[in-house]
Amino acid sequence: MDTKFIIALLILAIPAFNFLLLGLGGVKMSHRTAGLIGTIGLTVVAVLSYYTAITYFFDYGCMEGAYQPVIGPFPDEANPAFHWLQFTDHLTLDLGIWLDPISVMMLVVISTVSLMVHVYSNGYMHGERGFQRYFAFLSLFTFSMLGLVVATNIFQMYIFWELVGVSSYLLIGFYYTKPEAVLAAKKAFIVTRFADLGFLIGILILSYYTNTFDFAVLTDVNGPVLTSPSGATFLGISVFSWATALLFMGGAGKSAMMPLHIWLPDAMEGPTPVSALIHAATMVVAGVFLVARLFPLYFILTPEVLTGIAYLAAATSLYAAVVACVQTDIKRVLAFSTISQIAYMLVALGVSGLGGHEGLGYMASMFHLFTHAFFKALLFLCAGAVIHAIGSNEMDRMGNLRKYMPITHITFLIACLAIAGIPPFSGFFSKDEILVAAFEKDKLIFFCQYFVAGLTAFYMFRLYYGIFWGTERDYGKHLPHEAPLNMSAPLIFLTVLTCCTGLLPFNELITSDGRPFDLHTEWGIALPSIAVGVLGIVVATVLYRRPNPLPQRMADSVRTLHRAAYRRFYFDEIYMFITKNVIFRRICSPVAWFDRHIIDGFMDFQAWWSNALSFRIRALQSGSLQFYVGVFIFSILVIAGLLIAFVF
Minimum Å gap between C-beta 601 and another protein is 35
Minimum Å gap between C-beta 627 and another protein is 8
Helix (H, G, I), strand (E, B) or coil at 354: coil
Report the relative pairing of strands 92-93 and 237-238 from DSSP bridges. Answer: unpaired
Minimum Å gap between C-beta 596 and another protein is 37
By the 8 A CB rule, do 281 and 342 touch?
no
CB neighbours of 633 closer than 8 A, spacing ≥ 6? none
Question: Which of 598/625 has CB closer to another protein?
Answer: 625
By the 8 A CB rule, do 280 and 377 touch?
yes
* CA–CA separation, 488 and 239 (whole Å): 51
CA dist 472 to 153, 328, 546, Å? 55, 17, 11
Minimum Å gap between C-beta 644 and another protein is 15
Minimum Å gap between C-beta 616 and another protein is 21
Residues touching another protein, count (CB under 8 A): 7
Beta bridge partners of 71: 98
Minimum Å gap between C-beta 615 and another protein is 18
Question: Which of 631/643 has CB closer to another protein?
Answer: 631
Q: Which position among 629, 638, 639, 642 is part of the footprint of another protein (CB under 8 A)?
A: 629
Q: Which of 142, 102, 109, 117 is CA-nearest to residue 11?
A: 142
Binders of another protein among residues 136 to 195 (CB under 8 A) are none
Binders of another protein among residues 217 to 276 (CB under 8 A) are none
Question: Which of 560/624 has CB closer to another protein?
Answer: 624
* CA–CA separation, 304 and 269 (whole Å): 37
Q: Which position among 66, 558, 633, 640 is part of the footprint of another protein (CB under 8 A)?
A: 633
Question: Which of 1/619 has CB closer to another protein?
Answer: 619
State residue 86 phi and psi, 5-degree precision: -115, 115
Question: Which of 558/637 has CB closer to another protein?
Answer: 637
Beta bridge partners of 66: 63
438-452 burial, b for 16+ CB within 10 Å, e for fewer? Answer: bbbbbeebbebbbeb
Question: Which of 444/629 has CB closer to another protein?
Answer: 629
Minimum Å gap between C-beta 642 and another protein is 19
CA dist 569 to 194, 317, 319, 452, Å? 22, 14, 9, 17
Minimum Å gap between C-beta 628 and another protein is 10
Question: Which of 63/629 has CB closer to another protein?
Answer: 629
- Binding segment (CB under 8 A) for another protein, from list 249-257, 516-524, 571-579, 629-637: 629-637
Binders of another protein among residues 10 to 39 (CB under 8 A) are none
Q: Which of 449, 465, 607 is CA-nearest to residue 548?
A: 465
Question: Which of 80/623 has CB closer to another protein?
Answer: 623
Binders of another protein among residues 589 to 628 (CB under 8 A) are 623-626
Minimum Å gap between C-beta 640 and another protein is 13
Question: Which of 524/623 has CB closer to another protein?
Answer: 623
Question: Which of 228/626 has CB closer to another protein?
Answer: 626
Considering Cα of 203, then 205, then 210, then 211, what sign does the dihedral take?
positive
Q: Which position among 602, 630, 635, 638 is part of the footprint of another protein (CB under 8 A)?
A: 630
Can you give 451-512 as a three-state secondary structure string? HHHHHHHHHHHHHHHHHHCCCCCCCCCCCCCCCCHHHHHHHHHHHHHHHHHHHCCHHHHCCC
By the 8 A CB rule, do 153 and 213 touch?
yes
Question: Which of 531/633 has CB closer to another protein?
Answer: 633
Question: Which of 637/642 has CB closer to another protein?
Answer: 637
Beta bridge partners of 92: 86
Minimum Å gap between C-beta 637 and another protein is 10
Binders of another protein among residues 475 to 504 (CB under 8 A) are none
* CA–CA separation, 291 and 247 (whole Å): 9
CA dist 496 to 375, 410, 425, Å? 10, 12, 10
Q: Is 88 in the site for another protein (CB under 8 A)?
A: no
Minimum Å gap between C-beta 633 and another protein is 6
Binders of another protein among residues 509 to 568 (CB under 8 A) are none
Residue type, 246: L
Minimum Å gap between C-beta 30 and another protein is 58
Contact residues for another protein, defined by CB under 8 A: 623-626, 629-630, 633
